[in-house]
Structure 1
């Protein structure tokens, strides 16, 4: 059983358009594990289904356009309705209102760096374009930051799949994706812990920071 491998077989039928479409779709389908699909795409690259750089570029363009569409939609709709939408979407992907508020707070504090980093955190990466639009992040800053973040995310997992199949020929895409998911959850928990400790230290050193 390899559902991700079967999905990639379907993507391969449509070539570059299929890669673009899956990159776009992951922005609007929270149930679609983008990291797993990207790993499977990297595995297929080793089989000469498509070139490695083609896979990275096509999926990046699709994901970027999806993120940009969400950002522009929020800017057009307005903050009140967008906030309600953000909390709703957060509920779909398993993010509590408190977690969303934390994301907004961190993005507000360090916009450019965290626009990039937000694309490297599962689930958070899905709501970050909406959050950026809600916060009124400068369009150029958003575009540059999210482009770098998406390239890193897509490139990392496509390369991981490519290297994995070189090391273990015939590896199961879905099994590899599950192992990567466990690593991602561990990394996300560690990141959240480090952030909280840093925040607590900052508040202790500068008590007035909590009021800003």
Structure 2
């Protein structure tokens, strides 16, 4: 974000949609913090991160529309840290709740990214998908950006603790990613064993 500016925030959020372990709950406050420090405006932070959210979601929507459920489930079963059951669960949830999942699903970690896939599989009208994604993402992004912006505006209060806080944030992010990866690997192994015993 410091190098590219507000478009860098858009790139980071688009990547978060495609690779869920990258947490938007960290990226968005940093965008707000950078805006408060004068790297770009608050409006730019909100607009660009929302563009990134929509672009990332659109990529997954098109993937779902192009490949369909069966092929995506087969591909997911071969991709490290991804499970076919993730596709099955989000597709079933989409089938039960329809368009509401696209809007309100934007507020749920991991699910926020994956819900775009069944929307594409079920060929949800693209204008409706984009509109709901835009609204849901704008609300989610604004909340977290404002948190970071408030911290940035009160930087003089937290500045003495900034070095320590920076390492705490890095440690928390690494722990969360390590936990997610470990849990996913162990679950995949367990399911693989169950499948072998079942056969």
Using structure 1 for the length normalisation, give the TM-score.
0.67
2: CA distance, partners of 1:82 / 1:135:
13
Confirm whether residue 76 of structure 1 aligns to residue 66 of structure 2.
yes
* Structure 1: tracts of 5 or more residues without a match: 1-10, 183-212
Report the counterpart of residue 155 of structure 1 in structure 2.
142
2: CA distance, partners of 1:114 / 1:28:
18
Report the counterpart of residue 115 of structure 1 in structure 2.
102
Tell me the CA shift for residue 59 of structure 1: 1.3
Deviations 1:85-123 (A, max 9, x none): 45666x726x782x6544322222222222111111001
Higher mean Cα deviation, 26-35 or 166-175? 166-175
Cα 1:42/1:71, change in 2 over 3 Å: same
Cα 1:123/1:174, change in 2 over 3 Å: farther
Equivalenced residues, count: 168
Using structure 2 for the length normalisation, give the TM-score.
0.71
2: CA distance, partners of 1:88 / 1:125:
22
1:92 alignment partner, one of 78, 81, 93: 81
Report the counterpart of residue 185 of structure 2 in structure 1.
none
Secondary structure of the corresponding residue to residue 30 of structure 1: coil
CA RMSD of aligned residues (A): 2.8
1:169 alignment partner, one of 158, 171, 187: 158
* Structure 2: tracts of 5 or more residues without a match: 177-199
